[in-house]
């Protein structure tokens, strides 16, 4: 992440929890974090986030703040991403959703890949930072594993291997309790590897609130299609699923429908339908329903509709309605 990146307001609550739990005397920082946390659409710069960690280390004399803060991680500090994780059937599904929607938490993109019989979740630094990201990296990996433990109910869950870009710190031995024994430093990227067996664990006490909301909106869209044939209903349903998975393309839609992209194009054309216009119409209808629900922030809605940037969603919505999403709300 660069110095111009930001973290979401939900994640700032993690710092607040640490400050309150350890009664840290940092009134100015606390006020700043409270303001950010209370505003669902607010963002805290990534540089400032890392600066808060450095300041907390100076105030407490505790260099392990990244690990300790990661251990405080709960789904509630991940906003809509936390609800998505709790709505999944397995840990693998949760990690896949995390990979897709992690920019709801911070402006960075991780890669989820299969390496042999292990899944590897990795992040690369786009450029050399002018500030220390060590504690932020610790929060990310320790917090991710803490969430996995929370979701599965397995407190002894350990990854196969983890890697940090920074050098081994004096307190490296403390990593083992949270991250296991296979820890590597001075790596070209930040990563965690988990076994396929581990990721197959079911999610305990799932809370499918968000998925129910998404399903309700999808059902509402389908019911709004008067006198449509079975194929057109299937198209809209599959397109909504593609949007939720972050893959709103003709190829992805054809795979979801189990037909070739050429066949899909021909069938759409025979019915006077155009994929691009169908995608825009579906996005518009979902956007209006999400905004009327008033349960999701504009940032969340943009990502759920498959937009990689909030500004792209705002421009599209203004073209559709003449108003920005915030004006519509």
Mean pLDDT across the stretch 11-33?
92
Query: Read out DSSP for 195-254?
Result: EHHHHTPBPTT--THHHHHHHHHHHHHHHTSTT--HHHHHHHHHHHHHHHTT--SHHHHH
CB 136 within 8 A of CB 79: no
Mean pLDDT score across all residues of the chain: 84
Whole-number Cα distances in Å, 217 to 78, 136, 324: 22, 36, 21
CB 178 within 8 A of CB 146: yes
Per-residue pLDDT tens digits for 105-117: 776 677 888 888 8
Mean pLDDT across the stretch 315-323?
92
200: tokens are 């197959």
Question: Which pTM value belongs to this model?
Answer: 0.69
CB 304 within 8 A of CB 290: yes
At 162 the pLDDT is 97
289: tokens are 């329903």
In angstroms, the CA 91 to CA 251 distance is 27
319: helix, strand or coil: helix
Per-residue pLDDT tens digits for 225-269: 555 667 777 888 888 878 876 678 899 888 888 889 899 999 898
Q: b/e map of 280-315 (b: 16 or more CB within 10 Å)?
A: ebbbbbbbbbbbeeeebbbbbbbbbbbbeebeebbe
In angstroms, the CA 249 to CA 239 distance is 9
């Amino acid at each position: 992440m660069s110095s111009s990146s930001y973290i979401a307001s939900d994640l700032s609550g993690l710092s607040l929890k640490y400050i309150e739990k350890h009664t840290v005397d940092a009134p100015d920082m606390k006020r700043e974090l409270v303001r950010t946390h209370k505003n669902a659409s607010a963002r805290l710069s990534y540089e400032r986030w890392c600066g808060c960690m450095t300041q907390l280390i100076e105030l407490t004399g505790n260099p392990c703040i990244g690990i300790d803060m990661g251990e405080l991680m709960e789904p509630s500090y991940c906003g809509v991403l936390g609800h998505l994780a709790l709505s999944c059937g397995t840990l693998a599904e949760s990690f896949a959703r995390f990979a897709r929607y992690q920019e709801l938490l911070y402006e960075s993109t991780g890669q989820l890949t299969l390496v042999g019989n292990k899944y590897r979740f990795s992040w690369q630094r786009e450029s050399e930072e002018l500030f220390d990201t060590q504690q932020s990296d610790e929060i990310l990996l320790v917090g991710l594993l803490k969430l996995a433990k929370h979701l599965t109910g397995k407190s002894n869950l350990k990854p196969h291997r983890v890697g940090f870009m920074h050098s081994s710190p004096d307190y490296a031995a403390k990593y083992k309790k949270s991250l296991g024994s296979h820890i590597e430093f001075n790596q070209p990227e930040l990563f965690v590897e988990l076994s396929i067996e581990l990721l197959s664990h079911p999610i305990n006490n799932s809370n499918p609130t968000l998925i129910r909301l998404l399903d309700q909106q999808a059902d509402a869209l389908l019911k709004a299609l008067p006198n449509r044939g079975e194929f057109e209903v299937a198209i809209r349903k599959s397109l909504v699923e593609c949007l939720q998975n972050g893959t709103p393309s003709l190829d992805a839609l054809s795979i979801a429908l189990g037909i070739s992209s050429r066949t899909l194009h021909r069938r759409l054309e025979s019915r006077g339908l155009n994929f691009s216009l169908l995608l825009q119409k579906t996005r518009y209808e979902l956007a209006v329903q999400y905004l009327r629900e008033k349960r999701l922030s504009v940032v969340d809605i943009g990502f759920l509709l498959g937009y990689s940037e909030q500004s792209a969603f705002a421009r599209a919505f203004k073209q559709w309605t003449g108003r920005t999403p915030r004006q519509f709300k």
